[in-house]
Amino acid sequence: MDGNGRWATQRNKYRTSGHKAGVESVRKTIRQSSKLGIKWLTLFAFSSENWSRPQKEVSMLMELFTRALKKEVPELHENGVRLNFIGDLSRFSDGLQKRMNKVAALTHNNDKMVLTIAVNYGGRWDILQAAKKMVQALDDDNVSSKEINEDLFSRYLSMNEAPNPDLLIRTGGEMRISNFLLWQMAYSELYFTSTLWPDFDEESLNQAIESYHQRERRFGKTPKQVKENKQC
């Protein structure tokens, strides 16, 4: 969700008002995703690198996040959305950690859509924490390292229950992954748009999905093989 700061600067406003406007785009995106039948939506709200922003901006983001959780959760819960949080949550205040855990527990059995919010998240952090957990588990169960394969390893990643993402959307014009779901995105389709996040709306999401539908996902196979598979 990139471009909040630039959106605000273009309007001679403080960067923080761009983040506030960004919450409305979050709302629109969740509603439209639900309408489109998207089962898994993951939002990168705060990266491990974002702590290095000015203290005022970081505090404001924490406040905004806390407020949004309070305000939006009842409607999300009513609409069958399950909320998950991924990232190193231990760096957040006790209050915010408690709130995230409470929301995750409250919505745990909802099955219309899984909304994952990545906070203090980094793809490299995720891979490292998975490696540490896996080594510990192998050690505890006396299992040989010969048993390690992709399937076993991915069980220790943050999004272990989720399918790998079909589509990554990045707003704000930058064309990079910025340490998002590095392992999980090996075969994801990438969609970059110059639209700034606060301007991202239902139509923008529709366009991204439309672009996704034009792609041919081959997973290393030839176009002919893909065609034959589709016919089966």
Active site residues: 2, 50
- Residue 115: how many other CB atoms lie within 10 Å: 24
Q: In what order do the strands lie in the sheet with 113-121?
A: 40-47, 113-121, 81-86
In the bound state with ligand FPP, the residue whose beta carbon lies nearer, of 3 and 122, is 3
Q: Does 126 bind ligand FPP (CB under 6 A)?
A: no
DSSP 85: E
> Which of these segments, 43-51, 103-111, 137-145, 204-212, binds ligand FPP (CB under 6 A)?
43-51
Q: Which of 19, 82, 99, 170 binds ligand FPP (CB under 6 A)?
A: 19
Three-state DSSP class for 192? strand
Task: From 3-11, 79-87, 121-129, 184-192, give the range in contact with ligand FPP by CB under 6 A.
Answer: 3-11
Which candidate, 183, 178, 175, 123, places its Cα nearest to that of 152? Answer: 183
We find the least distance from the C-beta atom of residue 230 to ligand FPP, in angstroms, to be 36
Cα–Cα distance, 9 to 77 (Å, whole number): 35
Q: Does 180 bind ligand FPP (CB under 6 A)?
A: no
**With contact defined as beta carbons under 8 Å apart, do 46 and 120 qualify?**
yes
Work out which of 29, 32, 34, 65 binds ligand FPP, going by CB under 6 A: 65
Binding site for ligand FPP (CB under 6 A): 1-6, 19, 22-23, 26, 43, 45-46, 50, 61, 64-65, 68, 117, 172, 197
